[in-house]
């Protein structure tokens, strides 16, 4: 039975979702408000316009999580990856594209597809219920009327308009000979144990050097249309440092209620705390460290923190305009809005980050919609795959906020990375069976993760295709 599925937003996610719907034999109505209404960031009316970089990042499917995501999307007949491959420009090991050629290829493919209808004009407010199944993929610059409709339906706290991001560190890169687990005053908090934070201590000299580095470090300015979205409880770490040398140690770096078990008689001058960021316990965020420092400065300065000298970052900090849902609370495992299941969401508005990740979520939203229309819902994606890890993070893989006063939202946008994958059942070993350390261990671990992902995605695809071939239940 052929069904009409509306897709709102002609960016990477919406374009990919429309393609998946159309290729499955259903009618895709793709709504794109440009050029009737423009945005502050877009320059053209082309679908899937790249408004920032022209890079899709690493194309290495064996040593990089985004490269693995590329491979998985290609295996699921992604239009975005097909257009990217056809418009590639030299970029070493990265996949970079001619942005105009890429957008033109996506636009042409959708305009020429017999199952796609492209409608130019703004969808003001929520899509009407009479449309039936609909995918909202309006991105970080969602029009105000639609954003307000979402908030009215889901609650005032459901939508963030500025993305205040603290850096996130891979747990296995933190030096546990320096850091220790403890909650302030050993308070367990909701669902905690009393040892829920990793603590990195600083003496007076280290703290003063750190504050000086924050104040003098190179920063990124706000775009004119963003304004300056500082709000109480979420100031950039360097802005707090500029307000006085003692501000941080009486704020997010306060040492009170914490005792270093390795030197209990010496009180640290300041302490950097890291809080578990995902349910797997593989990622920890730096509490209160949202920042406008450049990425290079963040790495340089934050690696001066004792215990983080060899820190590997799953993502770095930032503060910029970015409309996104509190997806773990609002969406189900197939990206449907719990308050109105006929609506699915895809792309950056769900809390993923990056071109490829946005398109990947659009791909899965399209496939979820198609499977539902056929009466054969898809089995959950294995979290061991890049696609599955990304969807699992969006729909529930984070750790909820711990109830602290003025605590920022715990769910924040994230690029795909190996920290979102379940750990391997056993550590990788070389041909002789010897356990490895250092770079050799890291390389073999990534290879083991990607080998597991490919096998699990192949098994999932086999099951999904089998379900798709079965006739739908009679009406």
Which residues carry a binding-site annotation? Answer: 9-14
Residue 22: partners with Cβ closer than 8 Å, 6 or more residues away: 28, 110, 113, 114, 115, 116
How many secondary structure helices (H) and strands (E) does the chain include? 12, 17
Token pair 């990856």: residue: 81
Q: Could you list the beta-strand ranges (E) of 59-179.
A: 88-89, 94-97, 116-120, 134-136, 159-165, 168-170
DSSP state of 317: -
Give CA–CA dist 397/434, Å, rounded. Answer: 33
Q: Could you list the beta-strand ranges (E) of 51-178.
A: 55-58, 88-89, 94-97, 116-120, 134-136, 159-165, 168-170
Q: Is residue 445 within 8 Å of residue 453, measured between CB atoms?
A: no
And the tokens for 57?
Answer: 């990042």
Residue set of the binding site for FAD: 9-14
Q: How many CA atoms lie within 13 A of 366 on its CB side?
A: 34
And the tokens for 161?
Answer: 């308009």
Give CA–CA dist 306/432, Å, rounded. Answer: 36
Nearest alpha carbon to residue 42 among 161, 191, 143 = 143
**Residue 411 pairs with which residues in a beta bridge?**
none
């Amino acid at each position: 039975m052929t069904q009409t599925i509306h897709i709102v937003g002609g960016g990477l996610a919406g374009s990919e979702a429309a393609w998946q719907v159309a290729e499955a034999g259903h009618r895709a109505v793709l709504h794109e408000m440009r050029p009737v209404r423009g945005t502050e960031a877009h320059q053209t009316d082309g679908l899937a316009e790249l408004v920032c970089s022209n890079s899709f990042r690493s194309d290495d499917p064996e040593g990089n999580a985004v490269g693995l995501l590329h491979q998985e999307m290609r295996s699921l007949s992604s239009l975005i990856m097909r257009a990217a491959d056809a418009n590639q420009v030299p970029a070493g090991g990265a996949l970079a594209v001619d942005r105009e050629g890429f957008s033109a290829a996506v636009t042409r493919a959708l305009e020429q597809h017999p199952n796609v209808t492209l409608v130019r004009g703004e969808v003001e407010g929520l899509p009407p219920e009479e449309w039936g199944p609909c995918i909202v993929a309006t991105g970080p610059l969602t029009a105000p009327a639609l954003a307000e409709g979402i908030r009215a339906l889901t609650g005032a706290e459901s939508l963030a308009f500025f993305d205040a991001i603290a850096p996130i560190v891979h747990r296995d890169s933190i030096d546990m000979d320096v850091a220790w687990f403890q909650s302030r005053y050993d308070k367990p908090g909701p669902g905690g144990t009393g040892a829920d934070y990793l603590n990195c201590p600083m003496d007076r000299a280290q703290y003063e050097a750190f504050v000086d580095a924050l104040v003098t470090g190179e920063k990124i300015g706000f775009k004119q249309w963003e304004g300056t979205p500082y709000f109480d409880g979420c100031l950039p770490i360097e802005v707090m440092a500029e307000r006085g040398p003692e501000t941080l140690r009486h704020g997010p770096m306060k040492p009170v209620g914490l005792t270093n078990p390795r030197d209990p008689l010496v009180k640290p001058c300041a302490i950097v705390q890291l809080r578990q960021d995902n349910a797997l316990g593989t990622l920890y965020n730096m509490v209160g460290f949202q920042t406008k420092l450049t990425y290079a400065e963040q790495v340089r300065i934050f690696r001066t923190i004792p215990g983080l000298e060899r820190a590997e970052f799953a993502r770095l900090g930032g503060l910029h305009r970015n409309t996104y849902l509190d997806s773990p609370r609002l969406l189900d495992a197939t990206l449907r809005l719990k308050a109105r299941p006929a609506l699915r969401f895809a792309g950056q508005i769900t809390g993923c980050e990056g071109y490829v990740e946005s398109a990947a979520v659009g791909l899965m939203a399209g496939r979820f919609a198609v499977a539902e229309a056929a009466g054969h819902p898809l089995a959950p994606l294995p979290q061991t795959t890049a696609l599955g890890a990304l969807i699992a993070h969006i729909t529930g893989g984070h750790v909820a906020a711990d109830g602290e006063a003025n605590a920022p939202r715990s769910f924040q946008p994230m690029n795909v990375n190996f920290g979102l994958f379940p750990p391997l059942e056993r550590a990788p070993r070389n041909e002789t069976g010897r356990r490895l350390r250092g770079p050799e261990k890291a390389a073999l671990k990534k290879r083991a993760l990607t080998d597991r992902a490919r096998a699990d995605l192949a098994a999932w695809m086999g099951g999904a295709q089998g379900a798709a071939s079965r006739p739908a239940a009679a009406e």
